[in-house]
Amino acid sequence: MRRRPGRDARRRHRRESDPHDRGRRDRRHDDRRAHHRRDDRRDGRRGHRPRATGTATARATSTATRAAAPAGAPAAAASPVGRVGGNLVIYSARKEELMKPLVEAFERQTGVKVTLKSGGAGELAQLIERERGNTLGDVLFTTDAASAEALRQKGLLEPYVSPNAAKIPAEFKAADGAWTGTIGRSRNIMYNTNLAKPEELPKSVYELTDPKYRGKVAMASIREGSVKLWLASMIQERGEDFTVKYINDLKANGLKVLANHTEVANAVSRGEVTYGLVNHYYYVPAKREGQPVGLIYPDQGPNEGGTLVVPLAVSILKGAKNQAQARAFVDFALSQEGQLPLTTQENEFPLTPGVGLGEAAAPGVKPIDEIKRPTTDYAKLADIEKRVVDLFTPILGGGQ
C-alpha cells in the first residue's frame, strides 16, 4: 500500500455511494460527469482505510464549489513560502535526478514530505486522463506544456493563480492558472569539441540533413516531452509535410534516436556522436565536468525562425488531495529560492524578461532575452501534439 502518512483526515469521507461499475463508466464517458462524482470514487478507492466521518457532509456539499474554492487552501500564499507540513505527490515528467534539487529545497523549506512519480510527459498526461480526477497525484510538473494545456482543456487541472506567477509572460502560462511555466529551457545542438570541425558547425537544425553530418547526429526519442513539443512547434511553423520530411531526411542521414536526452548528451560527451539535439541544460553538467562539449543556438540568423524556448509547467491536479501543499509547491517553484536549484545547477533560465542567470551561467549559455525564438501558442500546440504522437511515435521510438 502506498502510504501517505498523516494525510489530512478531513480529506477522507464516508463512502456515500459506491457504484461497482464506476470504473467502466468513468473511463468511457465525459469529463463533466467525472467532476461531479469525484469524491465518491476517491473514497471508494481507499476502501480499506479507516474512515473519518466528521466532515463528510460538509465535504459532500462543497463538491460543486470545489473548482472555484478548494477546501483546505492556505489562507494566503505570499511570495516566500512558509512551513506547511504534510505530504505531496508530484507527477514529474522531469527526470528524478534533475527534479531532486528542487524537491529537496522545497522539503527543507516547507517541511512537506514529497513523493515523486517520475514518468514520460505523455505517459503522465494519459494516466491523469485515465484517473479522471481520481488521481493519486497532487501536482503535475511537466516538460511538455502542451500536454498540460490539453489536460486543462479537458478540465483535469485545478486552476490556481499563484501570486508568484505575476511576472511570468502570458505566453508561458494558462490564463486561468491551470498551468504555469516556471522556468525556461531552449532547444540546442550540443557538440563534441574534439570531433566537430569549427568550420563545419551547423548554424541551423535544418542543416543536419546534409551528408557531411551523416551518422554524426543523435536525438532523443519521442518519450521526451520536449521532443514532442519541438516537433509540434516545427509543424506549426513550417507545416506537417515539411516536418515529416525533415525527420525522415535526418533518419536517412543516419540519425541515432536514443532513449532520452541524457543518453544523447552522454553520447556526445563520449564521442559516440558529434552532434546531439538536446535541451540546453544537458550541456551544462557535461561542460562543468570538463567534457569536451560545446553548445550551438541554432537558427538565430536574421532570416531564420529562431530556436524553441519552452517552459517547465507546473499545475495542480483536479482532485488533488493535498491542495495546500500543492499550492505551496506551485508558489515555491515560481519563487526565486525555488528556482535557484534549477538556475544554478542546470542553468535553466527564468522566464521573466530581464532576469538573467548571473554568475551561475556556464560558458555558452544564454538567458531568454538573448535567444531568438518562435512565439508559442500552447492551445494550438496542444492540438498539433496529438498529431505529433500519431506521426512520430512509430518512427522516433528509439532503437536500431
Partner 1 sequence: METRAADTESPAKVREAGPRGAPRSIHAPRPTLHALRSTLLALPTLLLAAPVVLPLLYLIALAGEASATELWRGLQRAQIGPLIARMALLATATTLWAVAVGAPWAWLVARTDVPGRRIFRWLGPLPLAIPPYVGALVYIMLLSKGGLLHQALAGLLGRPATQVPFAAPIFGPWGAAFVLGLFTAPYVFLNVYGALTRIDPALEDAARGLGHAPAQVFRRVTLPLLRPALLAGGLLVFVYAWVDFGVVSLLRARTFTTVVYTYLLAGSSLAAAAGLSLVLVAIVLGVLVLQGRALGGARYAGSSARTRAVAGAVTPLGRWRWVALAYLTLVTGLTLALPLGLLLFQALKIGPPHAIGAFLLEQWPFLWNSLRVAFAGSTLALILAGIIGWQGWRGRGGRLAGALLQTGYAVPGTVLGLSLVPLALDFFPPLYGTPLLLPLAYLVLFAAPTLQGVRAALAQVPPQMEEAVRALGHGPVAAAFRVVGPLAWSGIAGTWLLSFVLALRELAATIILRPPGFDTLPVRIWTYTLDVGPDPRAAAIALLLVVLVGLPWLILLLVRQPGVAPDARGEGAG
Instruction: List interacting residues with partner 1 (CB under 8 A).
Output: 1-2, 22-24, 26-27, 41, 44-48, 89, 91, 95-98, 115-123, 125-127, 130-131, 134, 136-137, 147, 192, 194-195, 221-223, 228, 258-260, 262-263, 266, 269-272, 292, 389-390, 393-394, 397-400
- Give 105 or 128: the residue with its C-beta nearer to partner 1: 128
What is the 8-class DSSP label of residue 173?
B
Minimum distance from CB of 68 to partner 1 (Å)? 27
Calculate the CA 91 to chain-centre distance.
9
Minimum distance from CB of 161 to partner 1 (Å)? 26
Separation in Å, CA 73 to CA 16, 64, 182, 303, 328:
24, 16, 21, 49, 10
Minimum distance from CB of 71 to partner 1 (Å)? 22
Task: Give the strand pairing for 256-258 and 217-220.
Answer: parallel
Residue 287: phi and psi, rounded to 5, are -60, -45
Cell numbers standing for residue 114 = 514529497
Minimum distance from CB of 265 to partner 1 (Å)? 8
For 347, the enclosing helix (H) or strand (E) is none
Minimum distance from CB of 76 to partner 1 (Å)? 29
Residue 180: phi and psi, rounded to 5, are -135, 130
Strand locations in 168-226 (E): 180-192, 217-220
- Give 269 or 325: the residue with its C-beta nearer to partner 1: 269
- Give 122 or 298: the residue with its C-beta nearer to partner 1: 122
- Per 3-state DSSP, the chain is made up of helix, strand and coil in percentages (nearest 5) of 45, 15, 40
Cell numbers standing for residue 101 = 534539487
In three-state secondary structure terms, 294 is: strand
- Give 261 or 373: the residue with its C-beta nearer to partner 1: 261
- Give 71 or 389: the residue with its C-beta nearer to partner 1: 389
Minimum distance from CB of 105 to partner 1 (Å)? 18
- Give 231 or 368: the residue with its C-beta nearer to partner 1: 231
